[in-house]
Amino acid sequence: MHIALIEPEIPGNTGSIGRVCVGTNTTLHLVGKLGFSLDESYVRRAGLDYWPKVRLQQHADLAALQAALPGCALRFFSAHGPIRYDRVAYGPNDVLIFGGESKGLPAAIREQHSDSLVYLPTTGDIRSLNLANAVTAVVYEALRQQGFPGLIS
């Protein structure tokens, strides 16, 4: 399974997501321009001593990510999607794609995939969940559907 962040902005979230990736045997893909340096202490602090263990790949854009992962199902997450996250049948090679913290997915991606965007339910009193929290919820639902392969139960 793969987690892709498009233009993430907050190093602490990326570090926390990296730690989740290590704990779930998931590859982390960073796409486009980052809002921080991967050398920053905030990334390492949030990822703790697990950051060196993150299987990390960087891609210039979404097309490069797709080229690197041919045949993988792409799942795009947005607070404005029509499909609830627990109503998706996830597979072992799915790519769970999230946008940056302040902007979400770029408008062009939301428009191109408007009928298949996936969302996490909230009360509506907030614009969205914290990126690291949303990623964690989704990856664990995806892995739950598959019986938590390779994880200690």
Residue labelled with tokens 């990822």: 47
Query: Measured between alpha carbons, how far is residue 76 from residues 48, 110, 111, 129, 149 in Å?
Result: 28, 8, 11, 15, 23
Closest CA to 27 of 135, 147, 101: 135
CATH of domain 2-145: 3.40.1280.10
Q: Answer whether 41's CB lies under 8 Å from 12's CB.
A: no
Q: Which residues contact 110 (CB under 8 A, 6 or more apart)?
A: 76, 78, 80, 104, 117
pLDDT above 80 for 45: no
- The closest alpha carbon to 10, from 29, 27, 34, belongs to 34
Mean pLDDT of 53-58: 94
Mean pLDDT, the chain, whole residue set: 93
Report H helices in the chain. 11-24, 41-47, 62-68, 107-112, 131-145
Indicate if the pLDDT at residue 44 is higher than 90. no
CA separation for the pair 144, 95 (Å, rounded): 16
Domain boundaries, given as residue ranges, for the chain: 2-145
Give percent of the chain above pLDDT 70.
95
- Nearest-10 crossing angle of helices 131-145, 11-24: 20
Is the predicted pLDDT of residue 47 greater than 60, yes or no?
no
- 62-90 pLDDT, tens digit per residue, is 999 999 999 999 999 999 899 999 999 99
Torsion of CA 143, 25, 72, 110, to 10 degrees: 70
The pTM of the full predicted model, rounded to 2 decimals, is 0.94
Q: With bands split at pLDDT 50, 70 and 90, how would you rate the model's confidence at 106?
A: very high
39 pLDDT higher than 80: no
Q: How far apart are CA 141 and CA 85, in angstroms?
A: 8
Task: Specify the pLDDT at position 36.
Answer: 82
In this prediction, residue 38 has a pLDDT band, given cuts at 50, 70 and 90, of confident
* pLDDT-based confidence at residue 49 (cuts at 50, 70, 90): confident
